[in-house]
Amino acid sequence: MSNKTSLKAALSIAASILISSSISVTAYAQSDDAEIISIAAQLGLLRKVPERELPDQNFQQAPVRQAVYRPAAVRRNFRNPYEARRIQILRQNQARRKAHLQRLQQQRLQLINARRNARRAAQGYRGASGFIWGRIFQGYRIRNYNYQPLVRQFINQFAHNPQKIQRITERSSDYLYLVVTELNRRGMPTELAYLPFVESSYRNSAYSHAGAAGMWQFIPSTGRRFGLMQTRSYDARLDPHKATQAALNYLQKLNREFRGDWLLTLAAYNAGERRVHLAIEANIEQGLPTDFWHLDLPRETKQYVPRLLAYKEILSHPGAYGLRLRGIPNAPALARIHVNKPVDLRKAAAYAGIPAERLLTLNSGFLHGITTPMFSNGIILPRSHANVLNQIIRDLPPAPDVHRKYAYRKSSRRGRYVRYRVKPGDNLYRIARKHGTTVRKIKRLNKINGNRIKPGISLIIAKSRRSRKSYS
């Protein structure tokens, strides 16, 4: 109380002084002491301050905005527009990758479902011991690579043309038993029975623009390396038995060279072992993988192996791709006899009442339709007509020696050139061998740039200049 009394006395003295000097004092209603405020009011020292309006009771205070943490890289985006664009592109790429992975997962699920649905359709071929397909499916040893883009591409391409696969399987019915039996005997993967699908579509008389011939498409030099004789009247590359033996010998040799890798083996069969070795050495120097899918190989070779794997997938699950395989019996379709005299195959087919083209196709190694016992005395016959043909061939008189007719030429300065009209199925290599010349000479005389010729055109061909006693 003493303090308050002293404060009152001080205020009264201060009030008298302020009144005399006409100075007003402003006080606030916020003072805690009511007596002091009342005395100041009586003396007129207080200036009234208008009261502040209280806020509405229904007013809701705005939520406090919380600070959001932003990484330093994101905070810089507002300053650098290029950085913002870069991050936008990264996010778009991430979204694309996610969508791509989802599509791959969906394709895998579709493939699994397709295989599941195809099991019943393929059950008749897999389980039937009477069909050759069961032996092929049971001998698979090469893993599936259906996830590879090129394999998927060829699967889709072949699946859109089931008629082509149907035609190839029809042609293969004569040779599949022969090929599969030899593969099983050697312990090799039965997927190799699909190799002629890629090479020649199982055409025993097929020729390529590069000079490769036969079901396994041997070029001349490789054929000679593996014992396939080639003369003007006989070509062992067109003999299905001898060519199959040579092809499997070559594949086994390549497989040992590439340490059991069948994809590299098939690539070397197409491009040559040296080309594959160079690609492997280049990848080793660059620190890259050395499997088939990472090698820098020619375009044809890069598509060669995926084609075979695509055929394997479609033929293993025919129902999933709208294909119905022919039930090829698990029994030999061909018979082979040995005759030590020249035989005119056209006459034999005519006497047996079968198309001559059928017998000539099976024996394409005899280039002029007449057998040459000095090179091969084996004749391949369809098993359904083997007995009849065998008896007819034994009774036929010997045909003219076609080898002497085409192997020896009289030397003459006149008539050094002949004209030859191209027939359907002819190519430059076959025409050159038939007339004892070379492809280069034919192209030079006729001014041909490429390797393709059309049936019906006339070619100028130089006759052989070798003497009568010289052997070609």
Q: 217: closest CA among 233, 241, 229, 201?
A: 201
Residue 422 CB contacts under 8 Å (≥ 6 apart), including other chains: 431, 453, 454, 455, 456, 457, 458, 459
Q: Collapse the DSSP code of 188 into the 3-class scheme (helix H, G, I; strand E, B; otherwise coil) and give the result.
A: coil
Alpha-carbon gap, residue 398 to 381, rounded angstroms: 18
Instruction: Retrieve residue 186's tokens.
Output: 């050697």
Instruction: Retrieve residue 30's tokens.
Output: 């916020």
Backbone torsion region of residue 425, taken as left when φ is above 0, otherwise alpha when ψ lies between -120 and 50, otherwise beta = left
Q: How far is the CA of 111 from the CAs of 311, 321, 346, 403, in angstroms?
A: 16, 11, 50, 56
Cβ pair 114, 152 in contact under 8 A: no
Give ∠ CA 192-194-199 in degrees, rounded to 5: 100
Q: 326: closest CA among 184, 202, 175, 168?
A: 168
Cβ pair 443, 432 in contact under 8 A: no
Q: How many residues does the chain have?
A: 472
Q: Which helix (H) or strand (E) holds 459?
A: strand 458-462
Active-site annotation holder among 199, 257, 281, 357:
199
Backbone torsion region of residue 48, taken as left when φ is above 0, otherwise alpha when ψ lies between -120 and 50, otherwise beta = beta
End-to-end CA distance of the chain: 148
Scored b (16 or more CB within 10 A) or e, 94-110 reads: eeeeeeeeeeeeeeeee
Alpha-carbon gap, residue 358 to 88, rounded angstroms: 68
Across the chain, which distance is largest between two alpha carbons, in Å? 165
Instruction: Retrieve residue 68's tokens.
Output: 């959001």
- Within 10 angstroms of residue 438's Cβ, the number of other Cβ atoms is 14
Alpha-carbon gap, residue 184 to 341, rounded angstroms: 34
Active site residue 51: no
Q: Which helix (H) or strand (E) holds 454?
A: none
Strand 417-421 relative to strand 458-462, pairing = antiparallel
Q: Which residues are catalytic?
A: 199
